[in-house]
Amino acid sequence: MKVGQRIKRLRVANNLTQDELALRSDLTRGFISLVERDRTSISIEALAQILDVLGTTLSEFFRQLEEQKVVFTVDDRVRVDREDEEEIIELLIPGAQQHLMDPALVSIEPDKSAVDEGHEGEEFGMVLEGRVILEIEGSGTYRLEKGECFYFPADRPHRLFNPGRKTAKILWVVSPPMFH
């Protein structure tokens, strides 16, 4: 991946516009645009300013450029333990906040729910085991069986409920990342 593409991914992962990144890094929006499209070269000083705003270092940035992992095994998964949550979340791609999507395996026990108040972005899910009821405020209620999937803008409160007798497992992908 080229330097500009990586900067753009980091900017988007940090929910910043080009204008916001330019303002915070004391650079121009036009320069940020050119860099992200790999239309100009960038000095180490300017790159360091941008990366500081994006929460990373030069060494980490270049290490990640070299070490882009492609295949992730079961051993790579990270379980997210959050108090007062009824679902179990396993992050399938650790460090996904540096990417545009955040895939997770979500397990919901019988008679339990996964609830979200709504946020920027989009959500996709596919029921791998069991069945669920998806409720989206202002949109409706949907029953999903194994093999069926959903996709919706995530800006409204939504909930997945497991009405079944066994654990429901959902491949859930959120963009931008938020399962951390």
- The DSSP secondary structure of 30-71, one letter per residue, reads HHHHHHHTT-S---HHHHHHHHHHTT--HHHHHHHHHT----
Q: Which residues of 45-58 are buried (b: 16+ CB within 10 A; e: fewer)?
A: ebbebbbebbebee
DSSP state of 95: T
For the chain, give the mean pLDDT: 88
CB 124 within 8 A of CB 100: no
Q: For the chain, which domains are there?
A: 3-66 (1.10.260.40), 74-175 (2.60.120.10)
pLDDT band at 80 (very low <50, low <70, confident <90, very high): confident
pLDDT at position 17 = 93
Averaged pLDDT for residues 14-26: 94
**Three-class secondary structure of residue 159 per DSSP:** strand
* Rounded Cα distance, 152 and 97, in Å: 20
Distance of CA 141 to the CA centre of its chain: 24
Q: Is the per-residue pLDDT at 128 higher than 60?
A: yes
Q: Is the per-residue pLDDT at 7 higher than 70?
A: yes
Per cent of the chain over pLDDT 70 is: 91
